[in-house]
Amino acid sequence: MMHGPEARPPALAISGVSHFYGRRKALDDVSFAIAPSTFTVLLGLNGAGKTTLFSLVTRLFATRHGAIRIFGHDVSEAPGEALRVLGVVFQPRTLDLDLSVVQNLMFHAALHGIGTRDARARAQAVLEPIEMADRAEDKVRDLSGGQVRRVEIARALLHRPRLLVLDEPTVGLDIKARASILAHVRSLVPTGVAVLWATHLVDEIADGDDVVILHEGRVLAHGPVARILRETEAPDIRAAFTQMTRRAELQPGEAA
């Protein structure tokens, strides 16, 4: 029997996942895994398949080809166990605009079976780090776009997940709001949360990140930034991404 860190299953393991919309293949044999307590960027242009993959991970779509496991729990065979340790921030805004910040959080807590007293304590705990505790009673419609995103992240953390997935969480935000949200999510990793951050913005990648490059439904590369740069001989991740996606378009069907 294995002991220690080697015995821990990946935070997220995607194995041979394909998905079709009619005859169009949106994902083509996608496989990668991310370790616990790490920050991984899923980088791809609009239409690359990022949202489709998130829909499969979160069970909005059924997985018909391949397998997805969250900390060892198959999302198809054990969805309750898998989703219990998963926090999600979708690309579209999903808060109720006519409810207050704390009402939105309390509703989410109820869905997870968290009692009222515990839920209020948790709401305070997740709002304080994002400087939103003083806006708890405000209606969501009175918040800025960046504040709404911060509340959505707080809501996703309310049930204390071990994996947080975010689909283009900074779309439509200004530079300051983007930087603040990215910094906050990165700060969660040392607390034991694994993060999968989907984006088309190369400047959201840091040198120490793991990166999964998804293009036209296929994984072109996965690994630390330094390894991708070494293998592509590119000066930076933007150049590496451009190089790999252009090559994939010239040689369809060949992933790196």
Q: What average pLDDT score do residues 4-32 get?
A: 90
pTM equals 0.92
In a domain, 18, yes or no: no
In a domain, 144, yes or no: yes
Report the percent of the chain where pLDDT is more than 70.
95
Tens digit of each residue's pLDDT (9 = 90 or more) over 23-58: 999 999 999 999 999 999 999 999 999 999 999 999
In a domain, 59, yes or no: no
Closest CA to 91 of 169, 150, 154: 169
Tens digit of each residue's pLDDT (9 = 90 or more) over 194-220: 999 999 999 999 999 999 999 999 999
Tens digit of each residue's pLDDT (9 = 90 or more) over 67-78: 999 999 999 999
Mean pLDDT of the chain: 93
Q: How many CB atoms are closer than 10 A to CB 120?
A: 16
Q: What average pLDDT score do residues 10-34 get?
A: 97
pLDDT at 2: 43
Tens digit of each residue's pLDDT (9 = 90 or more) over 151-171: 999 999 999 999 999 999 998
In a domain, 112, yes or no: yes
Q: What domain range includes position 106? A: 94-172
Cα 107 to Cα 81, 153, 253: the distances in Å are 20, 15, 45
Q: Which helix (H) or strand (E) holds 200?
A: none
Q: What is the CATH number of the domain that holds 152?
A: 3.40.50.300
In a domain, 56, yes or no: no
pLDDT at 239: 97
The set of residues, in sequence order, having a beta carbon less than 8 Å from that of 61 and lying 6+ positions away, is: 19, 52, 55
Domain count, the chain: 1
In a domain, 234, yes or no: no
> Residue 173 above 80 pLDDT?
yes
In a domain, 155, yes or no: yes
In a domain, 192, yes or no: no
Closest CA to 219 of 255, 245, 165: 255
